[in-house]
Structure 1
Amino acid sequence: MKELIIQGEVLLHNNFKNLTILYVEDDLEIQSNIKKILDLLFAEVYIANNGKEALDIFKTNYIHIVLTDYEMPYLNGYELTQQIRQLSEHIPIVILSNHTEKEKLLKCIPLKLTNYLEKPLEYEKLMDSLNKCKEQLENKDLLNIQITKELAYNMGTKKLSKEFEIIELTALEIDIFEALLNKKNQVIDKNKLISLANSKTTGFTEGSLKNIIYRLRKKVGKEIITNYKNMGYCLKVIKV
């Protein structure tokens, strides 16, 4: 009954439905329980069992929020956050720990954490921290992703712009475009994209996907979305 109540409360919070989160936890039971909540909130939840896995995921995907345990193998939460801060100065990071030891708290202050939570994790405190993360993303304009010098996409407003001109996208175009964007510079299997579209509509086929990709390429440029024959598609993000 308690789990059903929490699920109902989670569904009322749609503030994160356009966002991704990286959750790092080596305790598989805790990981499973928290993932159930995060899956209801976020567009995509990336899971890592240790700091090294987490860093690899962070480098190859668009991550908006990081929620990480402190004590874990290879890289602990402090070391992982140090590495992430070298790649992103402002991404919101929340560290979890079994003990609110003063030494750990003081050590983490220079890393500009959004919050530091004690385990076992309380639902209300988790939601409060995630809302702070969302505010931080908005205040720092971190939801605006620069794809090329001229092309940008805002995950919050779901608006694509090219040289300050808004490019209109349909709902399905947005879903496919965001799926490609979240896996920057990686090939996404066409069947995964078809499955994604069919979760939102009915009768979406490989031909439907080719039509969506054709329309997107006309809007953003052929060089941005590459077709890998019999495999899938890749959206290329060019560092500017």
Structure 2
Amino acid sequence: MSVLSLRLAGPLQSWGASARFAARRTTESAPTKSAVIGMLAAAAGIERGDDRSLEPLAALRFAVRVDQPGTRVRDFQTAHHGASGKSMPLSERFYLADAVFVAAVEGDPTLLATLHAALRNPVYAPFLGRRSCPPSQPVELGLHDGASLLEVLSQVPWQASAWYRKQHHDRTDIELTVLREAHDNEVEFADTLRDQPVSYAAAHRRHSMRTVVSDTVRITGPSARSLPSHDPFDAFKEASA
């Protein structure tokens, strides 16, 4: 087995797991499997109605590490019907601002190598839950052979922003939450989320239930000395030199 790790960070993210046409579109507190698998499928050029090509991707085991939880923000949007010009109902949409996650999928090494290459040269550009939410950096982190999801998420360096890490400068390590798919013997104690992709076809988009458990990993955090510093007055000092 191999694991493919992804860095999901940007000014805004939105990971909905509810109805498409709801006037109130919420966001989960962490990336959903449906959205991440959809990102991988888009990068590989799999079309929305190609359910057969989607199946191997949907079968990958999924986990996500919360490196920087972000802040939930609300937005109101209006729209007009493309044909009639009639004003549509006001919609309420929620986003995560300044959040950073490390997502990982586990499965067949050949498939993950193909997806890793696709992320480096995507057919369709990735976005963080909605097309209005582009990532701030390339999403691919690396391909890890012979490792499990928890092993990889215990080893990948902390991806939080420098300003956020500075708030924890007095700690030599940090405990991060991991949301992962439950094993068979954990189902009884697991939560459920309707984000297991079945089809992305526009006419019959479908998802099934997935069992999720919360875990933690402890990783070494950078010391305060290792973090970049920024003084806004440095530019004036350089100009006057």
Flag the structure with higher strand content.
2
Give 1 or 2 for the bigger CA radius of gyration.
Answer: 2
State the TM-score bracket (shorter-chain normalisation).
under 0.3
With the length of structure 1 as denominator, give the TM-score of the two structures: 0.22
With the length of structure 2 as denominator, give the TM-score of the two structures: 0.22
